[in-house]
Chain A
Amino acid sequence: MGRLWTFGQKLSAGFASMVVLVLIAAAGAIYALDHVAERNDRVIAVEARNLILAGELRVAAEWKASALRGYLLLRDDDNLGTFRTAREQVQDVLTRIRAQPLDADSARLLDDVERTESAHQGACEPLIVERQATGTAESTGRAFQERALPKMKELRQQIETFAKHQERQLEQGSRDAAAAAARAKTALIALVLLAVLVAVGLALALSRALGHQIGSAVQHVQSSSSELQTAANQQASGTREQSSAMSEITTTISELLATSRQIAESAQRVARIAEDTAKAARAGELTVGKSGEQIGAIKRQVDLIVAHMLDLGRKSQQIGGILEIVNELAEQTNILAINATIEAAGAGEAGRRFAVVADEIRKLADRVGGSTKEIRGLIEEIRAAVNTTVMTTEAGTKAVDTGTRQFLEVAVVFKQIVSSVGTTTDAAREIELSTKQQATAIEQVNIAIANVAQATRETEASAGQTLQTASQLTGLSKDLLRLVQPQADA
Chain B
Amino acid sequence: MATLEIRDLHVTVEADNATKEILKGVDLTVKQGETHAIMGPNGSGKSTLAYSLAGHPKYTITGGSVTLDGEDVLEMSVDERARAGLFLAMQYPVEVPGVSVSNFLRTSATAVRGEAPKLRTWVKEVKEAMERLNMDPAFAERNVNEGFSGGEKKRHEILQLELLKPKVAILDETDSGLDVDALRVVSEGVNRVRETGEVGTLLITHYTRILRYIKPDHVHVFANGRIAESGGPELADKLEAEGYEAYTKGGASE
A joins B in a complex: no
Chain B interfacial positions (CB closer than 8 Å to A):
none
